[in-house]
Structure 1
């Protein structure tokens, strides 16, 4: 089980990916990204071109195996049933993905629970029910998600950090190597990245560059 004091360090480079995001094979992309320094992984298999059913489960198991070879937490996006079936290290949900308390209570004791938030009020509510970490966004404009909220940027991280000084925070949304430092400087423990690594010609170099820039 991941300890809270270690979780902040593990959130430093949080890679979010599904097969539909990748320029190359997703399993190969993930391994190369981890070799470049990715510390946390979220399996987000949704949207046009994504796998479903047994194909999704099979890919999840392959990605989980890669993560565990390198001691990187394997987190499932949105899908409680999939997180339990894959025995993932945790689940990450958004504000519209169901009753947070009921979902948290359905997870196994060793599984982490993360929630995406957009403002201080949502972050305080997530903290109240006992989430392990909070995603905050969108930090910048992004094409990865169609249902994007208003972009207020890293200032939201600062506002939440002032209210919740001890909670692990990760910035999400439109983060690239050239703007990631702003998110860290605002008080985030890490940055969540999709396209800057998943669509890179060399995922290892992309991850290394991101870590260098933060």
Structure 2
């Protein structure tokens, strides 16, 4: 079995797009349709994040996406639901500050599953390192409407801190769009999450190609 922990952290250090599902913003398309378009466009980091579905439906979707990502050599991370991540044999699980602590998640997952943790400031980033998180989310950098109960934007100063002080792979997230992506990259981000910018695009492949051009641009 693939070491999901190594796959996720390796891809995050390599850099690129880290894509999340968000079916309410996907223009009526299913998560499978959206993820297929992401994978066909070359994305290799996929997170399943759904908040309003029944457990059985989420497990069915996770297993479908697991088969798709495995065939593409991509990583699947499940947001919040450790049970779904394990049942679907996902490569990683991502939790928030109010979810189970990293140490407890590790007891459930064992050593082969990557654990990501959302962070919103320097103290939380340092705590993530101490707790044994494999990677962190850094944000929200800008205002975002995608996630409910989200904290205020943390701004680029926190991104600067993580780049300078934290030796964990990380994803910059929260309100990142094509127009501010160059600014985020200029501050040192390598792996970036754009949610509605991608899932809400009429042509997901074309949008990812556009963003990939920005990612490859000299800085």
- Check 1:5–1:70 CA distance in 2 against 1; reply closer, same or farther (3 A cut): closer
1:124-135 correspondence runs (5 A): 124-135=126-137
**CA separation of 1:6/1:43 partners in 2, compared to 1, >3 Å: closer, same or farther?**
closer
In the alignment, is residue 148 of structure 1 matched against residue 153 of structure 2? Answer: no
Q: Does 1:80 align with 2:120?
A: no
1:29 paired with 2:31, answer: no
SS at match of 2:37: helix
Q: Distance in 2 between matches of 1:209 and 1:6?
A: 20
Trace 1:103-182 onto structure 2 (pairs within 5 A): 103-164=105-166, 166-182=167-183
CA distance in 2, matches of 1:145, 1:51: 15
* Residue of structure 2 aligned with 1:52, choices 51, 54, 67: 54
The 1:177–1:37 alpha-carbon spacing in structure 2 relative to 1, beyond 3 Å, is: farther
Q: Which residue of 1 aligns with 2:16?
A: 12
Query: For 1:193, what is the secondary structure of its paired residue?
Result: coil
RMSD over aligned Cα, in angstroms?
A: 1.6
Give the distance between the partners of 2:187 and 2:119, measured in 1 at CA: 16
**Could you give the per-residue CA deviations for residues 54-95 of structure 1, whole angstroms, max 9, x where no partner exists?**
211111111111111211100000111111111110100110
Per the alignment, do residues 178 and 144 of structure 1 end up closer, same or farther by CA in structure 2, a change over 3 Å counting? Answer: same
Q: Could you state the TM-score of these two structures normalised by the residue count of structure 1?
A: 0.91
Residue correspondences, number: 209
Whole-Å separation in 1 of the counterparts to 2:175 and 2:75: 22
1:91 maps to which residue? 93
Q: Which residue of 1 aligns with 2:186?
A: 185
Instruction: Show the counterpart of 1:196.
Output: 197
Task: Show structure 2 runs of 5+ residues with no match.
Answer: none
